[in-house]
Structure formats: C-alpha cells, structure tokens
Structure 1
Amino acid sequence: MRTALSWRGDVLVAALAFVALAVPAFALGVSSVHDFAVRFAIFGLLAMSLNLLIGTTGLVSFGHAAFFGSGAYAFGLLMQSGGWSVPAAILAAMAFTAVLALAIGTLCVRLSEIYFAFLTLAFQMLIHSLVISWVSLTGGDQGLMGGVPKPPFLGIDLGDARHLAMFSAFCLLVSVVALRQIVRSPFGAALRMLRDNPERAAFVGLSIFRYRLAAFVIAGTFAGLAGVLMSLYVSGAFPTFLYWTTSGEAIFMIMLGGITVFLGPLVGTAIFLVLNDRITNITEHHGLVMGSILLVLVLGLRKGLLDFVVDAWRERQEKRT
C-alpha cells in the first residue's frame, strides 16, 4: 500500500511539474525558453542516469557518453531509413543502447573503482573511433548528415519547437519518476548496500555482478533516451556526443547539484547550463572561466549544492529537537 501511494504521489508531482513547464512554454512562445527547456531535459536525463551508477551504486563511469551518443546515432539512422515511426524508433534506439550496455557492462562491472572508470572510458573511445572510421554509415567526423525526419504522431509535431520542448519535458519527467521508483525499491536498497559494504552484501547472498550489471544497463538505457532527444534537437548526430568531454560534463553536473540527494543532478544541470550560457556570451575563453568557477564551487562547498542545503537543514532540525 505504501509503495502504491508513493508511486501515485510521484506521478502527481510529475504531472504538476509538466503543467508548470507547459503553460509558460506555450504562453511565452520564446525560442530561447524552448531551447533551454530541451537542453535541460537532455542533459538532466543524462546526469540523472549517470547518478544511478555514481550516487546509488558507487560506480564512477567515465564512459557514460557512449550510450548517449549511441542512442543518438541509432535513432537518427533508423529515422533516415524511412521505415520507422518516431515512437518505434525511440524504443528501438533504447533497446539498442540496453544491449550495448549489457555487452560492455558484462566486462566492466567485474572491476571496481579506478579500473571500472577507465575501462568504461576505453570502451567509449573505442566506439567514438568506430563512428569516426565508419564514414559510409555515420558520416565520420562530419556527423550524421541529411537531417532527422520528424513525422507527426498522435498530434505531436516535433518539428515545432514548442512540441519538442514539451515532449522532451515529458520524457524527462517520466524517466525521473521511473528512476525514483527504482532507487526507492528493494533493488535500489540492494544497490546502496553494494555501494556501502559489498563484502557484507555478498555475505547475505546478493550477487554483486548481477546487481551492478542491472544498474549499468538501466543507466545506459536512460542515457540512450537522452541521446535520442539530442538527435531530435540538433536533427542529426555527431562524434562529440561520444567524446569523453560529454561524460565529464555529466559528472560536473552531478558534482554541482549533489550526489546523495535524488534531484541533485537536475539542480546541477540547471546551474551548469545557465553558467555556460552566460559565460559564453561574455568571453571567448569560456572554458577557462567555467572551469575556474566549477573548481571554486566544488572545493568551496566540498559537496553538491543540494547536498549542502539538505545537510544544513537536517542539522538545523536536529538542533531544534
């Protein structure tokens, strides 16, 4: 009963959040608002999926962008073939990234800590090199050219910036609800036990390999969905989606917002995008300035912003009691 009520509560909050996003987007009709909404949904979903590994499972992946870029390329190629509807191509792209994550994860999750991190990075760069080399299929370093067809479905025209913004927000909110249920489930509790004390978890009968592999596949699948949204947004797919810097940006977003608080990665995504947009408009040396600001924030707080706020609130509550 408690689980059912929790699930319904999450759905209600997600529905209210969707309405809160939909009303201003349609009322304002400002392209910059639509642009930010889509990018926030894309990178927010990427960061949330990665935090299932980092925050919940205790596995730091430097190669998460492999699934982000693979989802984008898979969706773009399917739509360019002309025989797929948008919903079918989305599901197929997610299935492809799930299989890819299963194959890579089978090798990676047997390791831990730095070995796991660098092996995921190695696989990411391998896929990146494959995309660069397979020019006839992927377009090489020029990316997937020719655009991505966006035929309307169920009254939704993703060629319209407003529809794309709302569809991206819908995908983000549905994914957040699903990830929240996963984290709060017995499966999520087992992942946290594996994170905190893998020896004890193994002693009570939990399979470290199977649980970590399942988390890896789930995270890769949601990252693939983020890649699909990116493919729709830019109407193509490019090798930079698969590059290590994309994984690095997702890790920065998590560090900015918070690892231990569920919605921390979304807060970090908003901060990262706003800072990046403002700094890019001010100076051409945005990379140097952005890196310096992130360094100050991370070293100054020594935790994500939402982690800091929640911990301060808990300390205040404890003092009152």
Structure 2
Amino acid sequence: MLVVDRVETCRASPRRATVAVRETATDRIHVKGVTARLRVRVTVVSDYLFIGSGRFLVPWEELRKVVGAIVRATRVEQVLYHGSRVRGLRRVKEFYSVGGKPAIPGSSLKGAVRSRIELASTGDRVPAVFLYDSGALKALPEVGVHGWRHARIWCESVFEERVRKTGYTVLEDIMGVAGGGFEAIGSRVYFGDLKLVSRHSYEVVVLDHNEAVQAMPRGSVFEGEILVQNLEMDELGLLFYGLAQDKRLYCNRDPLMLLGAFKYRCRVRQDTGKRVEFGVVRVDVVGVEYAPWSRVKLPLHELLRRSLGEAFNNYSLRKCFDEVERKRMIEPCRD
C-alpha cells in the first residue's frame, strides 16, 4: 500500500543554495580541537539489515548432491543433465563479515553519515554539495520512476542547485575528497568496522524477484569505533548530526538512520508473502575516549549538546528531520 499523497504536499521548487566553503584545507598535522575515539552501537530496528560482501554462496548440501550425481553418472547425457542443475542452484548474496563474523563495514556507515549531512541540510548555508550530483530536480518524479522514493524523502534538498567554484566544502574538509578538480585531502574522521556483539545470526531470506540474501534480523547489535582528529566543535556537531543524534537530544526520539540495501523500499518474503522492511537502524554514541593532546575534554552528553548547538548555529540544518518516518509514510511495510 502506497500513501505517497501524504508527502506530495512537499512544495519545494528549484532554487540555488549557498554552500559553505573553505579556500584551503584544514591543517592535518598541528593539534587543535577534539581528537578522540567514539564508541558507537548500531541496533537493527527494521525486520532485517543487509549489507552485501559482493560474494555469493551456494547451498552446500544441494551442491553436494548434484556433484554426487555427476560422479555416479554412467552416460554423457546424465553428466550434461546434472551439470546443468548446478546453474539452477539458488545463489545467496553474502552478508559482509570480518574474521568469519557478521559486521557493518565502516565505509557503509561513513556513506550513510555523509548522505544524511548532505540531504538533511537545506537553505542559506549548507555544509556540502552532493557527492553524486546529477543536477537539481525540476519536479518530483512519477511514482515508479527510478528514484521516486529518494526524491520524496529528501524533497526539500534535491531541488537545490549547489555550486562550489573554488575551495573545499566544510564536509569535504572534514571527511576528505578524492580530487575531482581539487587537490585530494584525507579524512579527519575514520570509521572502523562495527562487529556483531549480540547472539544473533544470519537468516537466509528469499525475497521477491527470487533474490536470496543473508540478512541480520531485528535486534542484532553491532559495535565499533569512530576516530576523530583535530575537529572543531561545529565540525564534530556535523558528525553527530550525520549520526542522527539531534533526534534524541532535541526531540526525544530514537536516533534512527537508513543503512544498507533496500532501505527505501519494502520487499516481500517468498515463503510468507508478507512485506518486510530493511535498512532501519538505531545509532547510539555510548562512549568517548580523548587523546592526551585533545584540546577539548568534556563529558559525552555535554560534548553532544555543545557541538550540535554550534553546528546548528553555523549551518543550515533541519533540526530533528526524520527521514525514517517520512520513508514509512511513503510506503509502509506493514499491511
């Protein structure tokens, strides 16, 4: 069931946004601001989470039976027949792992954080251009057209034309940029892999279009670290904003984010015919450990409060914008 009419009231129109830029990148060597290790916990809130490794698995028992039949075959026709069955075995998309255990790659969390900062900011002083910019929208795409959900969730920002002629955007200065006409600079924020700490295990879920995935179920908990180097308070606030911490601090809501595959749309389980939701997680910053040379050393709650406050003062951020709520309004995964 689609209820897209609830967000068709988004009256955004094409406009030009002012991008906050810096003519030169921040010095990566000299000590200033906050240098610390943040402990982060990610809990799966949706039915499932899937982040692929790029590899496929074949059910071992089924493969063993087919290979056994080939070995026992006495005629060429039998070998060819059983050999063709190998192609018919269902391939399962493998979940990302580290040391054989489920994990969330740091690059995936970094991408989600970067996207939220880009897309939840809008207005007179945005901290970023779009990393993958195909131009500002002129109108909302029709339902069913590629990108229609994305456009409705982030409708205020995707209509913005964000132009940066010189220098680095604030977000590029924080998280690095590979080049693209500018001198490449490294990130001052390092996302480690988040490893499974709960007692959950993979479930093989067969979805519509006969797509089979290894997925982590609701309640799975992952923990890892984010290292920050020489961040000013407003820059750290942008990071916390990307981690959705403003939702809890200002609106007493769970800090939910969209992460992984299928995060924008509902899928259907083949065995039950029921719709299931992927890609909604709660992110909790549960600890901070400062480097001895860090210029700022505050209790975690005060660090969150002050840094987010400075980020909101300096940049055009939407306070408590809830992309998960809007996604669920557009297409509920519960019948």
TM range (shorter): under 0.3
Structure with the higher fraction of residues in helix conformation: 1
Q: TM-score, normalised by structure 1?
A: 0.23
Q: TM-score, normalised by structure 2?
A: 0.22
Question: Which structure has the greater CA radius of gyration?
Answer: 2
Structure with the higher fraction of residues in strand conformation: 2
